[in-house]
Chains A and B, each alone.
Chain A
Amino acid sequence: MKFREPQIEMAHGAGGKATRRLIDGLIAPLLMRDAYDAHESLGDAATVDLDGAAVAITTDAFVVTPLKFPGGSIGDLAVNGTVNDLAVSGATPVAMVVSFVLEAGLPTSILEAEVRAMAQAAACAGIAIVGGDTKVVEHGKADQMYITTTGIGLRRPGLLLGPRQVQPGDKIIVSGPIGDHGITILLARGELDLEADLQSDTRSVFPLVEALIRAAGPGVRWMRDPTRGGVATTLNELALDSGFGIHLLEELIPVRAEVRGACELLGLDPLHIANEGQLLTVVAAEYAEMALAAMGERAALIGEVKSEPAGSVLVTTGYGGSRIVDMLVGDPLPRIC
């Protein structure tokens, strides 16, 4: 469907429904004709064939306020975000290029701290930074600094991943508590008089992916890192692209008390809150135990794929009440009155 909205709103960048409309209705049809005509769903990374080698390639731009927050900073996010997009596509991260947009007046100390954070995150993740670009814009034309990273990786042979591999009966597993990053950022902005002992979960999920594939490789059907829009948006995309229903049991979903508390107060759903270091995967039922053991003690089996309700995510409570959880609509806005 053609994108007919007259102007770009913040919602088009929030990772939910509006973002999908913009990409499917304007950007993909004009720039990616072949993939669009084949109705291929867009994954976290694309694959190009280079003389027989399947190379995964992905890019991501990072804009975050504040630049530093408990548990990380924009530099960590910029490296880990791209590493994670490669990792969940089943690729081993190899190299990365970086481009900076800097606002005139930015203190050198801030830039240096972020560049150092990137170097450290890259070393941790085992990816080489091999090039880049720097642009400076007038003061007031950008918010301190933006970072774009583009990464390539080598796809593991023999691994078939994607929404079309998913079958009813498959199990859904998440690597740890959800919503830490989004709530940390919300609190770090200082607009709410709320404090919590909470840190962003930003990290490379590549070690998790490796452990998962070692333990349950043939049973792994689909992997994503649920960033903007949270677990709910990512699973809604899976539901739409696979045509199946995603059933979650609310009491099995790991959420820290601090995140739950903030969400209760603000009328938000932890399932809509961003993560930066969690792995969400669908595995065949017979591999679920092995996958769970490989993904660490915080990992939890949170639900199952069923044939109905097709294209939707349904959450059931311990007492049998159920609700549909949709993609995030726009930015999450706190509810007050």
Chain B
Amino acid sequence: MRFVDEFRDPEVINTVAEEIRWLTDPGRRYRFMEVCGGHTHAIYRFGLKDVLPENIELIHGPGCPVCVLPMGRIDDGLALGRQPEVIFAAFGDMMRVPGAHGSPLEHKARGMDVRIVYSPSDALKLARTNPDRHVMFFAIGFETTAPSTALTLMRAKAEGITNFSVFCNHVTIIPAIRAILDSPDMRLDAFIGPGHVSTVIGCRPYEWIARDEKRPIVVSGFEPLDMLQAIVMLLKQIKARTSIVENQYKRVVPWEGNRAALAAMAEVFELRPFFEWRGLGFISQSALRIKESYAQWDAERRFDVAGVRVTDPKAAQCGEVLKGVLKPVQCKLFGRECTPERPVGALMVSSEGSCAAYYNYEHRKTLGRQPATV
């Protein structure tokens, strides 16, 4: 399959893996954070840890939109969805995320009208075909999905569709990276930059990381060779004692980003003064809300939203895992109370969450490697 197979070629991968071994200094450790949840998923799915030297440690970052959403927002959204005239529409990613009284799928089983959509414009289509109902789209995602929500709202306004609204949970990536770097218990050598987000925002917004924080950052694609090449580029920067922003994912990411997408976001959204992130707490100017000029389509303005705040279960250490302080398996609940089927925290729900990725792809591998008892 074109655009896939050439990035998974075993021979080339082995050559690059050899180059990585050659570039690493066995006397030190390398701590790289992959910001994006898509990278976390790819690392486990492709078993990349098996081809990397042991002293390269990959730390999972905050870039999984499902994982960083606090439970209170899910409960608020579901409370709106319980109104009889409302159709609750969301991506498949959201469906198993637990709220205080169950996930959207569990609400569906109890009779709530929950629909899985593949894009915000599908939710708008639902509104057109169900004129006597109100369709509320539960929007999540970083700058990757925010433009499609913006375009959908622009279309709703242009067509005068009034039985549609968006419960906006869009967040932005840069403040999250800043929060990670400000965290005192965090020691990182470099960043693997998010690929999909960067197709929209471009590479310039990362310049401060290289310039002020002196951390190399390479924006990377999601195939095994993309990520290995990004690691080569980081190692070369570290060896040369430089820190710049580089773009490994040039076939998709333009340096300046996507102006049309950014313009749509600017038309519809503005920054919230602050927003709560699961595990990271409140971060100022880290999320988007719908502008006054689109108030009619803003579920938070249109309905009474309780603003529920739910503290995460005490024993769960989602925050520490999210910040990379703990490995998933070091959390007290991992694999016992908290599994992909019965998740306690969101990191175990999304396949981009580090706990679910670790549980699904890695966990029992290490058990298998334990020496057999005689």
State yes or no: do A and B come from one complex: yes
User: A9-B105, A264-B4, A335-B352 are contacts. A310–B368 as well, Cβ < 8 Å?
Assistant: yes
A-B contact count (CB 8 A): 130
**Interface: A336 (CB within 8 A):** yes
**Interface: B237 (CB within 8 A):** no
Closest chain A residue to B351, Cβ basis: A335
User: Which chain A residues have a beta carbon within 8 Å of chain B's beta carbons?
Assistant: 7-11, 17-18, 191-193, 245, 251, 257, 260-261, 264, 267, 307-312, 314, 316-326, 329-330, 333-337
- Inter-chain contact A329/B8, CB cutoff 8 Å: no
Contact residues of B between 338 and 370, Cβ < 8 Å to A: 340-341, 350-352, 360-365, 367-369
Closest chain A residue to B49, Cβ basis: A321
User: A192-B118, A267-B351, A334-B118 are contacts. A319–B17 as well, Cβ < 8 Å?
Assistant: yes
Tell me which of A10, A257, A261, A318 contacts B105 (CB under 8 A).
Answer: A10
Q: Which of B141, B364, B365 has the most CB of A within 10 A?
A: B364
In the docked arrangement, what's the CA distance between A311 and B365, Å? 11
**Interface: B262 (CB within 8 A):** no
Q: Give min CB distance, B230 to chain A, whole Å.
A: 16
Tell me which of A311, A324, A336 contacts B92 (CB under 8 A).
Answer: A336
Spot the interface stretch: B39-47, B179-187, B279-287, B325-333: B39-47
- Inter-chain contact A322/B50, CB cutoff 8 Å: yes
Query: B41 to chain A: which residues have CB within 8 Å?
Result: 267
User: Which chain B residues have a beta carbon within 8 Å of chain A's beta carbons?
Assistant: 1, 4, 8, 10, 13-14, 17, 41, 44-51, 65-66, 91-93, 95-96, 105-106, 108-110, 116, 118-119, 122, 140-142, 144-145, 224, 340-341, 350-352, 360-365, 367-369, 372
Query: A326 to chain B: which residues have CB within 8 Å?
Result: 340, 360
Tell me which of A10, A311, A319 contacts B14 (CB under 8 A).
Answer: A319
Sample of 26 A–B contacts (CB below 8 Å): A7-B110, A191-B116, A191-B122, A261-B1, A308-B368, A309-B365, A309-B367, A318-B10, A319-B51, A319-B224, A320-B10, A321-B49, A323-B44, A323-B46, A323-B360, A323-B362, A326-B360, A333-B92, A333-B95, A333-B96, A333-B116, A334-B92, A335-B93, A335-B351, A337-B91, A337-B93
Query: A322 to chain B: which residues have CB within 8 Å?
Result: 47, 50, 365
Tell me which of A193, A260, A323, A333 contacts B1 (CB under 8 A).
Answer: A260
User: A264-B4, A323-B362, A330-B105 are contacts. A317–B10 as well, Cβ < 8 Å?
Assistant: yes
